[in-house]
Amino acid sequence: MLKNLMFLVVFLVPTALDAQEKPNSVEQFVEDIDKKIPQILEDFSIPGAALAIIENGKIVLQKGYGFADIEKGVKVDLQTGFNVGSISKPVAAWGVMKLVHEGKIDLDSPVEKYLTRWHLPASEFDSDEVTIRRLLSHTAGLSLPSVSAGLSYDNLPTIEAWLSGKNDGLGPVEIIREPGTQWEYSGGGFGLLQLIIEEVSGQKFEDFMQSHIIDPLGMTNSSFKIDEEILAQSATPYDRFGKPTDFELFTVQAAAGFQTTLEDFIRFAFASLPQHKDHQKYNSVLPVETVRQMMEPAPNSTIGGWKYGLGYQSVHMNDSRVFIGHSGSNIGWEASFRIDAATQTGFIILTNGGAGGNLCNPMFCALMNWTSTESSVNDCWPMPSIANKLYQIIDEKGMEDIATAYATLKQEQADDYDFSESQLNELGYHYLAKKEYENAVTIFKLNIDAFPYAYNAYDSYAEALLANGDREEAVENYKHSIQLNPENDNGIKVLKRLGESTADIHFKVPIDHLKLLAGEYISTSGTDKKILYAVKNGELLRTYKDRDNTIKLVPISNNEFVYLGRGLYVVFDTRDPNAIILKAPNEGEFKKVN
């Protein structure tokens, strides 16, 4: 199962690799980043990037790295064009708020008030509760997180046809949960906002945005309209492994179709900072009070440390820092901008590579580290991907000896690459997307051999087998995936579609035996580490004394368990019921003490 996070927000915290000395000055921070970026581009086959670092409302670095077009030798500069994916949303939100400011749209009126060309389909929910404010903040309860089906269109459907479900299998936009009750990311909701802008303004969305927002903001090389002029200055998009890919176009431009340059987007970033000393210079479009309103979290828009305003995300740290901005991802593009609202310190980064997240996400982590008051921080930068290394080997030598190559690398260079489950999964899906099914099957088989308790690895392997025509083995692996994770909805849906039953595939442990396993375990290696297990509702749970959360364990035999959704395996030695031993390969050996 490919976990497509192109449109989702992941709360990033500095995750430990090695403790690093924290750069104290802006000069040191900029120097460190400037040195790091070329290496990340090389490690992850990201052709190019454009970066701006902002401190106290001033640009301290703006620079292009790598190539806009590798074949032509064109380097990235400040005028290179990039698609920014979902960063299109805060830009589109300015168009909505312009009409709000002019009194043509009311934030809390039902969207149906403004619609004539298309209407929300009937559902169990009240469509009058779908308001403009809720569309902007993703709390309207609408479907379709992504607006991309992964295809380039020769003839794009109309916005009405797209909303109705003529969108390469994504489905129609509809109300799937009660509006206003919780955050539910919806690119489809921004498709509806795009239609409303057209209905209210009487102009095409791209034309309204150009004349009322983009041009007045001084963004002279930016547009939602992808014409020959925009294409001429655009970088070439490249896939996850650095190969050229199609330039994707979108019906729902408001959600994913904005094209801009670093030079232009700096202007938008400053226009998004009401407290900037030159705010009025950069923003002649909206009153400062309106821009402030767009940054304020909307009701019920919280997910983890993230909140959502009117088109903008904000990250709220425990030490009161708040970073406003957005991230964006489309096929061949990754981008991010994050700025501390109080200190006006942050960054903008645009890339033309499908692996650009390996630069954008660590950059945010590095920014959070640098602006933190803590004296010691951890390294944010990822290890080189084993998937990239294997891809290069396959490109040169073919697939025949790839299992041997992988085993050799893992044995001899375990500390040089990221060997995590997701790496092979991404490589397998690269081949699956290209319909190179045998290659995909080979890579996914490597993954289940390397991670024999990871349900997602089996789900992905089954998907490739099914695509390759091996239905029987695909069913077997889908069932094994569900055995490892009974909550694997994707596998359950596929098996149901295939007419296969999922009943009686889960191993049941007698309740008395579960109670025998429950209790407190202490490390046998002399550390003070403890593990606690409890039985609740017939299930074994890992519990914690210092926090409320628990982790469910899924049985694969009476004494063997997998942590739900995590692929971590543990086994209990119960030959002596009075001296039970727990072996957890990721944590060590423990003995039960009570």
Which range (78-87, 190-199, 377-386, 416-425) has the least confidence? 377-386
Q: 98 by DSSP, 3-state: which?
A: helix
pLDDT in tens, 88-119: 999 999 999 999 999 999 999 999 999 999 99
Question: How confident is residue 20, by pLDDT bands cut at 50, 70 and 90?
Answer: low
Question: How confident is residue 7, by pLDDT bands cut at 50, 70 and 90?
Answer: very low
Contact 159, 92 (CB under 8 A): no
Predicted confidence at residue 587, as pLDDT, reads: 87
Predicted confidence at residue 304, as pLDDT, reads: 81
Predicted confidence at residue 6, as pLDDT, reads: 37
What's the whole-model pTM score?
0.88
pLDDT in tens, 202-253: 999 999 999 999 999 999 999 999 999 999 999 999 999 999 999 999 999 9
Residue 522 identity (one-letter amino acid): I
Which DSSP category does 129 fall into?
A: G
pLDDT in tens, 515-561: 999 999 999 988 889 999 999 999 999 999 877 789 999 999 999 99
Predicted confidence at residue 502, as pLDDT, reads: 87
Q: Quote the strand ranges of 355-490, DSSP E.
A: 376-378
Contact 32, 40 (CB under 8 A): no
Q: How many whole angstroms separate alpha carbon 266 and alpha carbon 219?
A: 9
What does the block give as tokens for 54?
């902002």
Question: How confident is residue 3, by pLDDT bands cut at 50, 70 and 90?
Answer: very low
Q: Is the confidence at residue 2, as pLDDT, over 60?
A: no
pLDDT in tens, 265-313: 999 999 999 999 999 999 999 999 999 999 999 999 998 889 999 999 9
Contact 237, 83 (CB under 8 A): yes
Question: How confident is residue 375, by pLDDT bands cut at 50, 70 and 90?
Answer: low
Angle between helices 402-412 and 386-397 (to 10 degrees): 140
Q: How many whole angstroms separate alpha carbon 261 and alpha carbon 565?
A: 40
Contact 490, 468 (CB under 8 A): no
Closest CA to 282 of 263, 269, 293, 295: 269
Which DSSP category does 473 fall into?
A: H
Residue 449's region, left for phi above 0, alpha for psi from -120 to 50, else beta, is alpha
